[in-house]
Structures are given as structure tokens and as C-alpha cells.
Chains A and B, each alone.
Chain A
Amino acid sequence: MMQGEKAAVERVFREEYGRLIASLARRFGDIDIAEEAAGEALVAALERWPASGVPANPGGWLTTTAANRAIDRLRRENQRDAKHQAAFMDHDDTPHEPTGPVEDDRLRLLFTCCHPSLAPQARIALTLRLLGGLTVPEIAQAFLVPETTMAQRITRAKKKIASAKVPYRVPEAADLPERLGGVLTVLFLVFNEGYLATGDGDPVRAELTGEAIRLTRILRRLLPAEPEVAGLLGLLVLTEARREARVRNGQLVPIDEQDRAGWDRALIDEGHDLVRECLAINRPGRYQILAAINAVHTDAPAAPDTDWSQVVALYDQLTRLDPSPIVALNRAVAVAELDGPKVALALVDRLPLTGYHPWHATRAELLRRLGRSVEAKEAYDAAIAATQNSAECAYLSRKRGELV
């Protein structure tokens, strides 16, 4: 088989993976069975497709093949326990029982992967593995942990799902807001890890930002009436739109120095549409407000055109929902543009964030603008010591070096 053919089959497989696993997990009630069957379907596709061509409906082909393999396997193993008996009886394509406001297998699986009974790290890893189709080595690499550690983390979470009987179910409407929050957090964290990657490797991991956006798009299709889902998608695409312009020669480029011609207009337009849609629904939430802030930034033809009073007003609104010091820090950055660095520094100095590198970086920048070089250098040093992103470290080092 040609390498290109193999890669093409694997690409289709990966695109279909989340759908495939979700459908099999629902049908057989077991993630391990789903994964094994999906693996066998990939082997079958690699044998067949290069000769016969990719079928018109590759997802359907993979699902049918995998389901048949799973049933064969269960028959062969002649399992007698109730779960597998149930799986046999369930193998015909009768419609699944309505269990919540939305019925899509991937959505069920996403809620399972992000279940509050699982450790937060495990939720992210499981989501990337089962819905994103990323391999265990890829996820281990993304989160800078040894492969065996990541494999154990995923295995342990899957065992807990099976033994504690975490349901494959979209929560009831009454529980949805609470549970949806956990899912959005996972998607946001996956994106952030891609956008400001930790470690010595690439400062930006486009496969993670892309995956987070893809999963959020699916969530949006499945829950079109939830404004926070639209808000998160808006936030992610407006941030992703600036990805290419954000790093130059291995250094982070702050938004006011970015080449705005390098921003992705299609993503910005999409983000602005989403923000307008959220405004019309008028049920503001954290991600919607963050999206609106990013809409203000991406609306300005050049950095000096930014409507900072609007940005501060949005941060005021966010503070009412989430009065955390991190929100206060971001608000202070906008205040610096409106009322000057002195006012902003007074706000920043009050915040209990000495362990948070953006606090040091913000102080350094404000002190630099106030001409307080000695203190600025100290703050840059603290920020450099605390950041784990190579491009940000390079940027901070340059700014520190420019101080006399």
C-alpha cells in the first residue's frame, strides 16, 4: 500500500473516530469494546479501501464493520454476563431511547468524558482520546507527561466509568447548565493548552486549538440554543484568528504589535456573528463576555482604534459574574489604556496573584511605562521565571533587555 493511501485512510478514520466510538459505546455500553472494534474496523479499511476506494459514506462503513466485528468477538468469547448479553440483544439498529433534551451519541460521550466524578486531567485526556481521536502518545506529548502516565490516567478513568457506571447520557434539562459548564471548561482548557503551550516544544500547538474548536462546533450544532456554547465558540475562533500573527521568530507578539493583515478574516467574521447572536439572546455568561471582549479587539482596524471603554465595561460585567483576581488583572490591563498605567498599577498591586506569571508580566509592563526601570526589571525576572511558554519567555526577555 502506498504511504499516501494509508495516510488518507487514517485521516478519514480520525475524522470519523469520535462518531464511531460514541455510536459503538452507546450500542455496546462499553468503551473498551468500542475502541477494540474501531481498531479492527481501521485494519479492515486499510485492507479494503486502497483497492476498492473510500466508500461514499465512510463513517457508516466503519460503524457497520466495527459493530459486526464487536458482535463476532462477543460471540467468539461466548461471554455470559449480563452486559454482553444485553449488547447482543441491542445489536439491531432500533432507535435508542430518548434520555435527554438532545440525542446525539457524541454529545452523550462528551458528557461522559467530562463527568464531574472524574479527575479534571482525566476529563481532558479522555475527551481528546475518545472524541478527538488523538492517540495516547499524542496526548501525552501535548501535556508533557510520559506516555505510560497518560496511558494509566486514561485507563483508570475508563475503568471508573465502567465500574461506577457513569452513564452515557446527556443530563436532564434541569442539570444541564451545571454539567455543561464542566464540558465547556474542558474544551477551553484544551484550547488554552494549544494556544499557550507549556514546555520547550512549539509555543503554539495548532492541533489542540483546532481540536477544541472542532469539538465546540459539534457541541454548538447539538445545543444551538445555549448562548454559552455560542460564546465559547466565538471566543475560540476570535482567538484562533490571531494565532498566525501571535508568534514571530519564536517570540510572542502582543496584540497591539500584531500585523492585523495576518488575522484570519473568515474566523473573525464568524466570531462577530456569534457575539451578535449572543447579544440578541441576552443571557450573558462568562464565555460570551470574553468573546465580546475579543470582538472589540478584532473590530479595531489598528491597535489605537481599540474601544477601551467598551473593553473595561465588559470586564466590569464579567467581574459581576466572576469577581476573581484573574478577571481583575485583565480588567486592569484595559484600565491602563483608558486611565493610564499609574491607576492600573494601583489596581494590580492589590491582587493576591504572586504565583501567577501574567501578574508579574503585567506589573513589569506597567512599571516600564511609568519609567520605574529597576522595579520593572525585577518584575520581568519574576515573570520569566514563572512562565512555561517558550515564546512568552522570549518576548519577556527582549522587553527586559530593552530597559536601560
Chain B
Amino acid sequence: MTHYLLTVHGPAERDEFGSYGSKEEMEEAFAATGVFNDRLHAAGYWVFAGGLAPASAATVVDGQGETPVMSDGPYLETKEVIGGFWVIDAPDLDVALKLAAEGSKACRGKVEVRPFDGLA
């Protein structure tokens, strides 16, 4: 089994319905994502998942010097940011890609699939 990070990419700017057009769309996407999450649990693929607060809530820390330097905002200023992610444990890439397609449909965003090189 291999661990894969499934990241959902969406717009950095969010309004009151997150990255969704309306309240209904947002609720539908949340419900569909919930169903997908249940399926990951039931099939044994689930490791961890979560939605992230807006990138504007991020702080970058550089601890390489004598005293850590903090700066407001995400590491990269981009229009598209990671909105949430899953970590799954799947037998191979075909399974991971299938699950990513289901997750993408559920949460209504593009999903990047990236294998872990190893786990601590």
C-alpha cells in the first residue's frame, strides 16, 4: 500500500459560500464530500482529511536563523491555493486516481494526486 496526498485546489479569494457560487451549491458539495469520506472509511483507504481555513489565515515561519522570522500570509501568493486535502492509503495509482476523481466530483474542485516518498 502507498500513501497518497490528494489536495483540492481552488481560488484563494473566498466569499461567504467559500469557493462555491451559492449556499445550495456549498451545502450540496459538503454533503457529497461527506458521503465520499464515509466511503473512504468503509473501504479502508482513509488516513486523514480536512478542509483548510483561507490562505489569508496562514503564517510563514523561517526558523533557520538565530531567531525565527514570522510573516503574514501564505508562502506563495497565488490565485489558486490548497483548500483542503485527503491522505489515503491505496494499493496503487489506479485506485488513487479513481478515488481522486470521486473526491473531485464530490467537492467540486480539481484534485492533485501525489505519492508520499515515505512516512515518519
Q: Is the CB of B2 within 8 A of A165?
A: yes
Chain B nearest CB, measured from A168 CB (Å): 9
Contacts of A115 in B (CB 8 A): 93
When distances are taken between beta carbons in the complex, the residues of chain A under 8 Å from B2 are 164-165
Is there a chain B Cβ closer than 8 Å to A166's Cβ?
Answer: yes
Interface: A117 (CB within 8 A):
yes
A167 contacts B115, C-beta separation under 8 Å: no
Which residues of chain A from 76 to 90 have a CB within 8 Å of any chain B CB? none
Within 8 A of A (CB), among B86-109: 91-94, 96-97
For A162, the closest partner residue in chain B by CB is: B115
A197 vs chain B, min Cβ distance (A): 33
CA distance A167 to B2 in the complex (A): 12
B24 within 8 A of A: no
Q: Is the CB of B115 within 8 A of A163?
A: yes
Nearest A residue to B1 via CB reads A165
Cα(A56)–Cα(B4), bound, Å: 46
Q: From A116, which residue of chain B is reached at the shortest CB distance?
A: B97
B77 within 8 A of A: no
- B91: A residues at CB distance < 8 A: 165, 167
* Interface assignment of A133: CB less than 8 Å from any CB of chain B: no
Evaluate contact between A163 and B92: CB separation under 8 angstroms: no
Bitwise, A158-197 to B at CB < 8 A (1) or not (0) is: 0000011111010100010000000000000000000000
Identify the 4 closest CB pairs spanning chains A and B, nearest first: A167-B92, A164-B115, A165-B92, A165-B2
**Besides the contacts A166-B93, A167-B91, A171-B94, what 20 more A-B pairs have beta carbons closer than 8 Å?**
A116-B97, A117-B93, A117-B97, A163-B115, A163-B117, A164-B93, A164-B96, A164-B114, A164-B115, A165-B2, A165-B91, A165-B92, A165-B93, A166-B92, A166-B94, A167-B92, A167-B94, A169-B92, A169-B94, A175-B94
24 A-B pairs in the complex with CB atoms less than 8 angstroms apart: A115-B93, A116-B97, A117-B97, A163-B115, A163-B117, A164-B2, A164-B4, A164-B93, A164-B113, A164-B114, A164-B115, A165-B2, A165-B91, A165-B92, A166-B92, A166-B94, A167-B91, A167-B92, A167-B93, A167-B94, A169-B92, A169-B94, A171-B94, A175-B94
